Amino acid sequence: MTVAPRRQLGLFDATMIVMGGIVGSGIFINPSVVARHVHTPFLILGVWFAGGVLAMLGAFVWAELATRLPGAGGNYLYLRVAYRPAVAFLYGWVLLLVTQTGGMAAVAVTFARYFREITGCRWTDGPLAAGALLGLTAINCLGVRAGSNVQSALMLMRAAAIAGMVVLGLALGGGHIHPLPLLDQPVSFGLIAAIGAAMTAVAFAYGGWQTASFVAEEMHDSRRDLSRGLLLGVSGVIALYLAANFVCLKVLGPAGLAATRTPATAVMRAALGDSGALWIAVGIAVSTLGFLSQSILTAPRVYYAMARDGLFFASVGRLSPRSAVPVVAIVLQGLAATAIALAGQYEKILNYEVSVDFILFALLASSLFVFRRRERGVLPAGVHGVPGHPYTTALFVAACVAIVAGTVWNDPGNSAKGWAILLTGIPVYWYWSRRRKRSGSVLKP
């Protein structure tokens, strides 16, 4: 009996999945990273606003891609149809080995550290991280509805934690913002380089919205719900991020924000004392758990799509008759992240991530030029075109390439390692493609 995916997700679920893919623990920490690169309220908020504009441009691009190809696997599917199966396979390969799994392991360990701080638990980080990952893996094996409900609840709790920090910081944290001077140094290459370094951290903090496309095949109307969810979700995150940075600047000032490694904790301590610091620690723990929930819900659909195309183990491409979800793919993702967390290799893997991630974003956005050229500029019925294309799409692609160039310039060693991991997928693809050809299977359009 053939098992088909169950279309159980709507617009609210899509919006929560988009926001859940973006909002992790970074917004509670990254404001200080940005403030160490640029040093005035105008520049700090300006960089976060620019990052939001970049994310919104990307959301428009992915909204068009989602209405063109509303199938499982999202980014994998877009790359396969626009370019070649080999390009799509390399995306899934690096997702499993670096970008998704390494990030999940790091976030799981962050959850463990905050959990120990809150509860006084004497367990080490590894077992707690593994428990979180395996528990969420089990929930997602029960079905897409169960996984989405947990992810939505955790996303709402994250939003409440950020909103609480903003309201309490504004009301009780004291301080004020000095709008002048706008710049801390004359316009020069040094200032541009500082803004570029800050943008790298901001772009990383805004990343993740595209993972909602992985579960398109399980949405009631993926053309409508995913495209709208992308725009609503990214807009909501921009509002949360700007509000969080504004309150950090008001309470701590640019110098204080740059000096602390835990800006959210510093804001809440200024507002409520030690109880405020404990409260925000709970919020960060929930935020990390929510990111893990979203990742385990979405990423396995890429491996499922790869296997369904004959480019991965056949068992990964099967749906459970009971829950209609790719249980083997979900377990694979959970176990891979758990292994990296227990081995303590997540920090090394994260260093390899940015340059690989953003060059793939550039390729994905560029696929619109491929589709438009094939159609001779005439959009098919039902496709939501990107406003301002080709200029806005080109701007997004250029921004991604600039981030990659900046990352390679600042950290060539780790960037090279990330590219090396990507290239190891070439012989693996060759093996699976030869095996698929021998079996006589044909890729579906």
pLDDT tens sequence across 241-277: 999 999 998 888 888 888 887 788 888 888 888 888 8
Tell me, what's the pLDDT at 346?
Answer: 60
Angle at 182 between CA 178 and CA 188, to 5 degrees: 150
Tell me, what's the pLDDT at 429?
Answer: 93
Tell me, what's the pLDDT at 350?
Answer: 59
- The confidence band for 167, taking pLDDT boundaries of 50, 70 and 90, is very high
Residues 6+ apart with CB under 8 A from 153: none
Tell me, what's the pLDDT at 104?
Answer: 86
Q: Which residue has the higher pLDDT, 19 or 445?
A: 19
The CATH superfamily holding the domain 11-436 is Amino acid/polyamine transporter I (1.20.1740.10)
- Percent of the chain at pLDDT above 90? 30
pLDDT digits (tens, 9 = 90+) for 91-124: 999 999 888 888 888 888 888 888 888 888 888 8
Tell me, what's the pLDDT at 347?
Answer: 59
Tell me, what's the pLDDT at 49?
Answer: 93
| Nearest CA-CA partner of 212 in 13, 4, 7, 5 | 13
* Segment 204-222 mean pLDDT: 84
- Asked if 75 contacts 207 with a C-beta cutoff of 8 angstroms, the reply is no
> Helices 391-410 and 412-423 sit at what angle, rounded to 10 degrees?
110
**DSSP 3-state percent helix, strand, coil across the chain (nearest 5):** 75, 0, 20
Tell me, what's the pLDDT at 300?
Answer: 93
pLDDT digits (tens, 9 = 90+) for 376-430: 877 877 787 889 889 999 999 998 888 888 777 777 877 788 888 888 999 999 9
In this structure, is the dihedral angle defined by the CA atoms of residues 202, 203, 206 and 208, taken in order, positive or negative? negative
Tell me, what's the pLDDT at 379?
Answer: 80
- Asked if 422 contacts 355 with a C-beta cutoff of 8 angstroms, the reply is no
| Nearest CA-CA partner of 198 in 71, 45, 95, 84 | 45
pTM above 0.95, yes or no: no
Tell me, what's the pLDDT at 329?
Answer: 95
Side-chain-side CA neighbours of residue 429 (13 Å): 18
* Segment 172-201 mean pLDDT: 78
User: Is the predicted pLDDT of residue 432 greater than 70, yes or no?
Assistant: yes
Q: Which of 80-89, 162-171, 172-181, 436-445 has the lowest mean pLDDT?
A: 436-445
- The confidence band for 194, taking pLDDT boundaries of 50, 70 and 90, is confident
Tell me, what's the pLDDT at 348?
Answer: 62
Q: In whole numbers, what is the pLDDT of the chain averaged over residues?
A: 86
* Segment 9-30 mean pLDDT: 86
pLDDT digits (tens, 9 = 90+) for 338-371: 988 887 666 566 566 777 888 888 999 999 999 9
